[in-house]
Structure 1
Amino acid sequence: MGLTSNLWKSSSLLSTESDDIHYSEQDDQDFASDIYVLAESTTDELLNSWKVFTALKDESYQGRRLENAAWRLHAMQKLGKSPSKEAESRITGREANSSTESLANSRSTEVQEPLPIMQATWSAEQLLGACLKHKLSNETMEDFLQILHSRKFDSADLPCTSEELRALPLHGHPYRPVCAIFTHSLERNGANNFCLYIARVLKQSQPLTIFSPKPGPMREDFEKLGLQVSIVDTASPTFLSDLAASLKELKVGMLLANTIMRCDIILMAADLQLPSVWVIHESWPQDQLDHYAKEVFMCKDIDSRVIRKAFKAAGNIIFPSDMQRHLYDGMFQPEAGRTIYNGIPLQQLDHFKQTRDRREVRLALGYSDEDFVVLHLGTVCSRKGQMFSATACSKLIKEDGCTNLKQLIVGARYIRDHEIRYIDQIFQVAAAHGVSCRRWEDLTEEERGQPQITVMDIQAAVLQFYMAADVVLVPSLNEVLPLVICEAMAFERPVVCSRIDAIPEAVTDGVEGYLVPPGSPDAIRAAVLKLYRDPAICQRMGAAGRARVLKQFSYSRMGEHYRELLDTVTTQPARAMAAPSKEPSLGEMLKGRTVLVDMDNTIVDWDAEFIRRYASSGLNRGNRDLQELERMVRSRAKFEIEENFPESERTEVLKALKSPGFYESLKPLPGAVEALRDLVEVWGVDVKLVTAPHPSCPGTCALEKYASVERIFGASFLDRLIITRDKTHVMGDILIDDKPHISGSKSCPWKHVIFSQSYNQDVQGKARLSSWNSWQDVLPRAI
């Protein structure tokens, strides 16, 4: 840069008391000429030059500049540097051959006088302000100044935004090392699609490599992006040492672990002192970590202990929603958690929409213009709730006159036994309602679109299904914020979703679609019926959904957040590896405490006795078979049993629970008796059984509950039984109860721990006990 564009002046020369200063390009040329002469002088000559300038007391702008230049050149020569090269660099912008130390420091070393106070132009003031705002170190400021003063620097070459700057390719740069992305598999699912999206966004600017514990169809997808995919056997006894060697060979400098099932990678990163990012897609209640790890996802080497250890060690944990981040509160350091909403590739979706004809897409699937297509897309399993949607659609077809309604279920796979059984149950539901249901793969081309319910295997390309659909269902029982919702809204399709977890962060009831209670076929049925009967609502909700995606779930915005994160992530070994503080023992936390425990559907299986009596006593006016009745009761949305039945059946429902011996016959839930006896006899807890009599039969209910307690626990527990309609009068530390919300004449003197049932899944912010097998993990934290 020329001198005219970077003018630093003495504060005395800028004083309002002095005359206005005028300088021209000729002045700069003269000054440059004088500087070249000074630069060739000896140390003594320079010192004499300074004395001359000082003696003359030349107050002109040029005089002050030359006086200061002589000082600086003299100091440089004393340090053994070349004034001529440095002067040339300062004046012409050509870089010097050797590095330059601060001249201000050298001057203060030679002569113990303070430098003149300098005042910046607008550019310098703005730069300093930004440095102070972000608390940049001197080292960082020096790096920026060196770049800005380089002759090669040109502001016209710079992008206009930080996002554009971060997107520049810097492969091989020491400050942007190779990032290894660890997936939990290479099967086609939402979590792995997220990794593919991230890889597409980052691969131009961030060197990446992929690791997975087993091969799968998505390996080809990553390799098409030019990324290396390594398969590592996590079951091998030398897994960690083999992986560490691979990371070293590939020069990996940071790790991104995808899903909670990659907690082993986070622990390894802490051991290796590598920066890591952990992306959590799952919504596992803290008291059900073992259940989901062992029973749902069948992870052999992962349990609640390992998961909790990884959360404590993780330096950077990313959640796709605020709700999910709060679900794990207390398991990680607050500063380690951050919410980044998952984005979707709108450009790819829009290209598909613009280059396809909807009628042709529907015809390829066998659907006509008259068909009303209800799509349920996702891995077919109990967690996703396809049985509820199949029940709803069957009733819409058979009972509500929606004869042209066709349901398409996409996502069947035949790997895990429980998923295969669940697929069979969907076919049984359809058969029970007299609705045709076929596997897509078994259909001839002429038969496509003819079954009222079609079940299709899991698919790699899914955009065609959104285009073909009129409505998209997401009636999950456990979900965070599935991409299916955002993708459906991007295609301007109304959605019907469960009101659970983070879904309300993406869908407002009645705006982009409808939110329904989880596990409620009737609620799904009612919502779809509204959309079926009013195309204008479908159109309005579809447009609102598209607008929300553009605002909240931008693919590019998600990429920007992850670019910034990977550029700024640092390991935190001190915190991750610090010795844990001594925690009180279980006995110390429990001894002397008072734990209140409800009975119905908390200690004893109230639902099982109701199902048995209602199905076998001739009261079943709905003529439901035992399997359907059990599904209806066990998955109900409302606490009071009669409210889940049609008005015409509620009298019979109450008759069943008022029948003689109902409460005396209740059987204990698994582990309940053993847990409560241990609390009393081993841990010194004062357990009280606090239960309310049913208002339809308070007297007989109370008497039978006494008999039930004596039968189950023995006479010694009768003194622990308290029967009351108002539990706020009973003092205690915690109350374990399945009722979603408890109130009374007083404020609650205890902490409410939810005993999990279908009708209390919407309750947030309370400790939750899913089974008596996990009480030792839940109760101490609640206390």
Structure 2
Amino acid sequence: CAAPAMSKAAAVGTAAAIAAAAAVGVYLSRKTLTLISSYAKAAEFPPVPAFEDRSLANHEKLIMTGTLLICTQNLAVSGANQVVLNLVDGGIWTGSIVVLSPTVGPFAKEFADLGAAVCIGELTDLMERVRDIRFAICNTIMTAHLVNSLTEMGIPTAWVLHEWWPEDMMVEELEKRNDKNTTPEVVKKALATCARVVCVCAAQRELYGPKNGVVTFVGVPEPTAHWKVGAVPAGQRPITLLTLGIVCPRKNQHWAVQVFKKFAGNRKDVRLIIVGARYQRQYEIEYVEKVKAEADGDPRIEIHDVTSDVDQFYRVADVLLFTSLNEVTPMVIAESMMRAIPVVTTNIAGIPEMLEHGKHGYVLPPEEEPFANALKELCVPGADGQRKRLQMGLTAKKHADATFTNRTMVTEYRLGLLKMSPPIILLDMDGVVVDWDKGFMRSWGNTSSVDRSKDYAMQKCVPAEFVKTAEALFHTQGFFAGLPPRDGAVKAVHEMVAKGYQVFFCTAPVLTSAFCPSEKYEWIIKHFGQAWASRVVMTTDKTTVRGDVLIDDKPKISGSQRPAWQQILFTAPYNTSVNDKPRLDHWKDWEQAVLTAVRGEFVAPGRESRVELAPEKVTKEVVATLPDFSHLLPPDYRADYLGWRAGKAQGAKGEAWNAAAKYAALQDASLLQEADDFTEVTVFRSGYANWRRGGVSGAKSIMIRQAADAQSRMS
């Protein structure tokens, strides 16, 4: 009779089984072929539950194989690029990271500084060069075409949406950009097929309606421990409202001035500070003038330019006044709450999800009366008002610390990657899942003594005169098919799958046995079911198989390549002397063994990290023991050098270092001017940029040449 039509998965499994057997020069028996190919529908491997292990998602050093691809719209200075830069900086992936962009831009250097490879070009070219991409992150709606291409290639992809474009606006925005790659139809296809569409708020997810949408708030850098040092005490200055963001129509600062005047009346103890004036685009210049005209010389209202030092304004702020009419989840709100500054904000887009009205601040319709009333409640003069602002601010800080940190964001994204491509566990059969020794001894009986500690190969563990007898035993028909499972193995394998791991059997056949390959398949089908036949990888070189963990009892596995996996050694008498690998003694402990390996927590004896601690302070006594090179220096450097030897903070080196730092600061200020909104870009802020460049020992060096180029362009 005709065989039933096979599903794609079953066909692949059958082909793999036949190919594996053919590769070692033997053939599957008719019985085994029947077992694998019959009932084809039942042979399709069932869907695996979603991977949900947060103990891995919370870990910053996962030892897993494969490359993470990040596709950007461009490498310009933008809040969207800052988000993915924060993911890389936060250690979302310990393995290789490649950033793809169609054009070069300032953020190329920032990604490269973090160790990512930056590729300028097309996806098709990159895919030919990088062959081990495990998953991808596409950033902004303008990468929809890349989402579709990666999905068609079978690469799990997360697509991050930052925009708030209703359908009519989307058509308008895409036409404005004249990008032939991204059309409304392309976007709709990506929304329907992408494995994971990351929205920054639930309202945005509702707006776009992706099939596989999730919500992850954008994380922001936590303030430094000393961000408020030098602040004027609240009682010695006016109650200060801060409006932070590029001064432009959508930010609505002229209305903030109107609200302030209505609330403040004739009060002299309040002020409004507006930060973000920029004079590059004509519409921005015109709007700054409009805001100044609205202020009309009121001495209580200050308007400041774009700055790389936002903390100087946060330090004196009592309330954040946020009046924008077009946002999604603005970073400035999260930053303010992290600094215990209560917020009065419009209730647009995702803002109502960021804080609770009346608890962390006020979330209001953009109407003058509600805003003015909220400010009156928060800005009551004296101790009562200060107490209310402090209490609300501290409540907001607790909420923000639990919701908006970069660490929280990175953890959610890492969990998303693990859900799309969970850890791959490869399982050896003989001696690991299969109790090979027990089956052998059951047939061997009292034939001779067996010292299993001698060698991995059984025939080397019996007296010399019985070697041929032992080899003949495991070459007999039915030997491999009749072996018993190891205690707890079958249950453990099912537990792995239930937890969302990708599980495959990776086994080496006995090349001289006509029965071994086919009987291994029979064994798997007997103990695990028909569908598992497609999960068997049979090879004589396990180093060619990609995976994250291989559980194997062989003391030393060699082959043609450096394996992508790390081995967990399943304990046996013949491998007890091995101490450079993590171990698994019993199947009941499989999960802890896997987590220890994937988290990189195993340290072989003698390989503990040895960190030589430098002296806490370089004293003149320490310097005095060093050679004196003052006679080799130019006269104008000699005084500083001798001063350093005498115990001063810096010598001649300090002049060049300070000059380089000034150039770098100029470069950062220049780049920050390019951002759509400087409040959404943190990498060029004074404190953060200084840390990235070496403000803390061991960080990266200053790019003096690029800084000088930036200065020459500005002059």
Normalising TM by the smaller chain, what interval?
0.3 to 0.5
Mark the structure with the bigger radius of gyration.
1
Asked which structure has the greater RCO (Cα within 8 Å, sep 6+), the reply is 2
Q: Structure 1 length as normaliser, TM-score? A: 0.43
